[in-house]
């Protein structure tokens, strides 16, 4: 069964063991609350072991402090799950921070430029557990 949810700038879909989140457009600290609440609801209801973030279409307008807050929040929500991020070159510093905090909390994660490769890696990681 596939469940999905869309709101302005964010699409979430769960199929099998992976929750996929795709963001696009301008993303600010203020427009992330509704998406974060929906994301947490998906995590609670479905308890997926893996999460894929595809952020290539997004343009984040966060201060350094807001990035720190976002990274800690994502790491907390994804604790105990495998995470992959599909990003662009200019997003690699933000992605690095999120994955670094996730790893500090005992998580596993990788960055990719291809959604298909990220999804395959997540499925392989879940199959190993």
Task: Tell me the pairing of strands 82-86 and 18-28.
Answer: unpaired
109: its two tokens: 């994660």
**Which parts of 16-122 are beta strand (E)?**
18-28, 50-61, 82-86, 108-112
Q: What is the DSSP letter of 27?
A: E
Q: For residues 48 and 14, what is the distance between their CA atoms, to the nearest angstrom? A: 8
Q: What does the pLDDT read at residue 77?
A: 93
| Tens-digit pLDDT string for the chain (129 aa) | 557 788 888 999 987 899 999 999 998 877 767 778 888 888 888 899 999 999 999 998 989 899 899 889 999 999 999 999 999 999 998 899 999 999 999 999 999 999 999 999 999 999 997
Q: What is the DSSP letter of 1?
A: -
């Amino acid at each position: 069964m596939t469940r999905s949810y869309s709101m302005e700038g964010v699409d979430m879909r769960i199929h099998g063991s992976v929750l996929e989140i795709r963001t696009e457009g301008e993303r600010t600290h203020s427009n992330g609350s509704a998406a974060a609440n929906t994301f947490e609801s998906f995590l609670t209801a479905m308890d997926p072991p893996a999460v894929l973030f595809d952020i290539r279409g997004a343009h984040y307008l966060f201060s350094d402090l807001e990035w720190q807050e976002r990274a800690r929040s994502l790491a907390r929500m994804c604790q105990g799950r495998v995470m992959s991020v599909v990003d662009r070159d200019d997003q690699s510093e933000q992605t690095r921070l999120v994955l670094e905090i996730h790893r500090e909390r005992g998580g596993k994660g990788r960055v990719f430029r291809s959604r298909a490769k990220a999804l395959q890696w997540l499925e392989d990681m879940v199959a190993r557990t």
